[in-house]
Structure formats: C-alpha cells, structure tokens
Structure 1
Amino acid sequence: MRIGELARRSGVSERSLRYYETQDLLRSERTPGGQRQYGEWAVDRVIRIQALYAAGLNSRKIAHLLPCMRDADGAPSEIATSQLVDELSAERTRIDALIADLVRSRDILDEVIETASAVRD
C-alpha cells in the first residue's frame, strides 16, 4: 500500500510515517518512481508505535523494542536481551505509577463532583 493509504488506515499523518522511517521504526520499499510501498504488516506496526509513544517511550527505545515484539506470523522474537527486559520492566513500573496517580486524581474529582452536586440540589 502507498503512504496515503497507510496514513488513512492507521490514523497517523504521512509526515509522522516519514519520521518513523527516519527513526528506523518503519521501513518501506520504493517503487521505480520512488514512491513508498508498505505491506499489510505496516498498519499493525504503526498502531504499536503510536501506543508506545502514548505510553511515554521515546523513539530510541521504541526502535530498540520493536524487533523484540512478535513477528507478523505470531512467532516471538529471539533477540530480546536481559538489559532490554530490565528497561521495559522499569517503563512498566513508571506507567503503573502514572496510572495510580490518574486513578487518585479521578477519585478526588469524583468526590468534588459529588460534593458540588449535593450543594446544587
């Protein structure tokens, strides 16, 4: 598929897809005319990249992590190192802490909303 189709299907701008290529997060084949061509696998790859960015990982960590994720055929990658596992565990702990903070914030807001609603009634 061409870059416009990948952008449409993944919900990511063409500019972002080009950036992903410069960061070695995504690869494309080139037609004789120089247009980018992607396989079906690229849609899932881009969605994963977006999820990892949303989790707070930077492009360097994502580039390091992506080859360790399951391949398109579902087979686990063999290249994960113990250092990578440690880094990812630390990232997961960081995300868990953020989630806990968000839950506490939501609980406080719920209390304020409940109190404010009681005053209005």
Structure 2
Amino acid sequence: MRIGELARRTGVSVRSLRYYEEQGLLASERTPGGHREYPERAVDRVIRIQVLYAAGLNSRTIDSILPCMHDHDGGPNESATATLAMELMAERERIDRAIADMLRTRDILDEVIAAATPSGV
C-alpha cells in the first residue's frame, strides 16, 4: 500500500510516517517511480508506534522495543536483553506515576464539577 493509504488506515499523518522511516521505526520499499510501498503488516506496526509514543516513550526506546514485540503472525523478532528490560522497567514506573497523577487530577476536577453543579443535575 502507498503512504497515503497507510496514513488513512492508521489515522497517522503522512509527515509522521516519513518521520518514523527517518527514525528507523518503519520501512518501505520503493517503486520504480520512487513511491513508498508498505506491506500490510505496516498497519499494525504504525499503531504500535503510536501507542508507544502516546505513553511518552521516545523514538530510541521505541526502536529498541519494536523488534522484541510479537509480529502479527505471533512470532517475536528477537528476545529482549537484560539492559532493555531494566530501561523498560524504569519507563513502566514512570507511566505508573503519570497514571496516578492523572487519576488525582481527575478526582480534583470531579470535586470542582460537583461543587459547581446544582443538586439533582
């Protein structure tokens, strides 16, 4: 599939897809006319990249994680190293703290909303 279709199917901009390629997170083949062509499995890969970025991971960490994740066919590309596992544990702890912070923020918002909302509404 071409880059525009991959963008449409994943909800990711063409610009972001090009950036993912620059970072080595996504690969394409080139047609004789120079157009990018992506395999079907690129859809799952882009979605995984988006999820990892949304969690606050940087491209270097994502690049380390992707080969360790199961492909669509169910097989891992390679096993994680002990060093990567330590880095990922630190990222997981950071995410846990961020989740706790967001839950506290939501509780504060709920209190303000409840205080500002007339009874029975």
Aligned to 1:29: 29
Runs of 4+ in 1 over 6 A off after TM superposition: none
User: Shift of residue 87 of structure 1?
Assistant: 0.8
Q: Deviations 1:33-91 (Å, cap 9, x if unpaired)?
A: 11110011001101111111110011111111111110221113433101111111111
Amino acid at match of 1:70: H
Distance 1:29 1:21 in 2: 11
Asked if 1:79 corresponds to 2:79, the answer is yes
Amino acid at match of 1:84: L
Amino acid at match of 1:40: E
Asked if 1:112 corresponds to 2:78, the answer is no
Aligned to 1:91: 91
User: Shift of residue 118 of structure 1?
Assistant: 4.5
Distance 2:15 2:116 in 1: 45
Q: TM-score, normalised by structure 2?
A: 0.93
Distance 2:116 2:49 in 1: 41
> Structure 2 unaligned runs (5+)?
none
- Name the structure where helix makes up a greater proportion of residues: 1
Amino acid at match of 1:63: D
Amino acid at match of 2:11: G
Aligned to 2:17: 17
Distance 1:11 1:74 in 2: 24
Asked if 1:43 corresponds to 2:43, the answer is yes
Distance 1:15 1:115 in 2: 44
> Structure 1 unaligned runs (5+)?
none
Does the 8 Å CA contact 2:30/2:37 hold for their aligned counterparts? yes
SS of 1:39 mapped into structure 2: coil
Identical residues among aligned pairs (%): 70
SS of 2:117 mapped into structure 1: helix
Give the CA RMSD over aligned residues: 1.5
1:65-76 correspondence to structure 2 within 5 Å: 65-76=65-76
Does the 8 Å CA contact 2:49/2:62 hold for their aligned counterparts? yes
